[in-house]
């Protein structure tokens, strides 16, 4: 596969179309805003951000990239949705976020350019939108320095995740626009761990992200049946 082929243009169009609402905490991106402090704290338990060189793959409007930079990291956010990146850049300018940069480049292309260059690579809520997630995992593993950390999050694939992440979130609660997620692209933790293992990453921890639709709150747990995160270290 050519390195630029691992893209679904319809996915990028979806995220570009919504781009102007990225920093509206009551918009379609509310879930990302809500989980952001949780995932940031989880990442920082393992790797304090101060002084770290961090890459955020599929950064979108920069919700996590911006937060990591505010914690003292030197952050590069990459994505292929042009409008989302523009919004990220504009936000950094307006909010005067220090040490954050954005670039329109694929993970695979950047991996060819900058191998073993980052202390931390994050890739959150993105793998379920690409045709070949294992190729992105490989690129992330190539870009992290030996001993460095890689963090992924995505959606599990089972009847419960179908019910919660698609039927519940898109059709009942209207948390997300219909068509945001495609069940077939969801990834089991074992599959993600196996892509990562083949790329030279050791699994450190598995974490679940749970949501209560009545209280509208998220929390971290051991339940990985719907949304989950995996932490790896490069050997
Ligand atoms: N990681 C961010 C945004 C998640 S939304 C966060 O968690 O806050 C998913 C993002 O993946 C969108 O910004 C979308 O444009 C991006 N994306 C989808 N396919 C991609 C690809 N092939 N390469 C890079 N980014 C991609």
Nearest C-alpha neighbor of 201 from the set 124, 117, 126, 142? 142
Query: How many structural domains compose the chain?
Result: 1
pLDDT digits (tens, 9 = 90+) for 62-85: 999 999 999 999 999 999 999 999
Q: Is residue 192 part of a domain?
A: yes
Q: What is the dihedral of CA 174, 59, 16, 229, to 10 degrees?
A: -30
At 188 the three-state DSSP class reads coil
Q: What is the DSSP letter of 52?
A: -
Q: What is the residue whose two structure tokens read 């209560």?
A: 212
Domain, as residue range, for 170: 9-234
Q: Is residue 162 part of a domain?
A: yes
Percent of the chain with pLDDT over 70: 98
pLDDT digits (tens, 9 = 90+) for 96-147: 999 999 999 999 999 999 999 999 999 999 999 999 999 999 999 999 999 9
Q: Is residue 30 part of a domain?
A: yes
Residue nearest to atom 2 of ligand 1 (CA): 59
Q: Is residue 188 part of a domain?
A: yes
**What are 121's strand-pairing partners?**
55, 150
CB-based pocket (< 6 A), ligand 1: 6-7, 11-12, 15, 32, 58-60, 63-64, 79-81, 84, 106, 124-126, 129-130
Q: What is the model's pLDDT at position 5?
A: 84
At 184 the three-state DSSP class reads helix
Q: Is residue 1 part of a domain?
A: no
Centroid of ligand 1 to alpha carbon of 216 (angstroms): 24
Q: Is residue 4 part of a domain?
A: no
Identify the CATH number of the domain in which residue 214 sits. Answer: 3.40.50.150
d(CA 141, CA 107): 10
**Cβ(156)–Cβ(147) below 8 Å:** no
**Cβ(29)–Cβ(61) below 8 Å:** yes
Q: Is residue 3 part of a domain?
A: no
Q: Is residue 151 part of a domain?
A: yes
pTM tops 0.75: yes
């Amino acid at each position: 596969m050519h390195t630029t082929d691992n893209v679904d243009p319809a996915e990028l169009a979806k995220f570009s179309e919504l781009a102007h609402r990225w920093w509206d905490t009551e918009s379609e991106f509310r879930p990302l805003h809500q989980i952001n402090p949780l995932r940031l704290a989880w990442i920082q338990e393992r790797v304090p951000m101060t002084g770290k060189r961090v890459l955020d793959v599929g950064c979108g409007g920069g919700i996590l990239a911006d937060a990591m930079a505010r914690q003292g990291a030197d952050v590069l956010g990459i994505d292929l949705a042009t409008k989302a990146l523009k919004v990220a850049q504009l936000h950094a300018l307006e909010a005067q976020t220090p040490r954050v940069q954005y670039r329109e480049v694929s993970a695979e292309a950047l991996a060819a350019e900058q191998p073993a260059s980052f202390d931390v690579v994050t890739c959150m809520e993105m793998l379920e939108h690409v045709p070949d997630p294992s190729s992105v995992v490989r690129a992330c593993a190539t870009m992290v320095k030996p001993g460095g950390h890689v963090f992924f999050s995505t959606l599990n694939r089972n009847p419960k995740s179908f019910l919660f992440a698609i039927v519940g979130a898109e059709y009942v609660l209207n948390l997300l626009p219909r068509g945001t997620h495609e069940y077939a692209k969801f990834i089991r933790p074992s599959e993600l761990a196996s892509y990562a293992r083949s790329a030279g990453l050791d699994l450190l921890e598995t974490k679940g992200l749970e949501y209560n639709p009545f209280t509208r709150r998220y929390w971290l747990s051991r339940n990985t049946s719907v949304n989950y995160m995996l932490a790896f270290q490069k050997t």
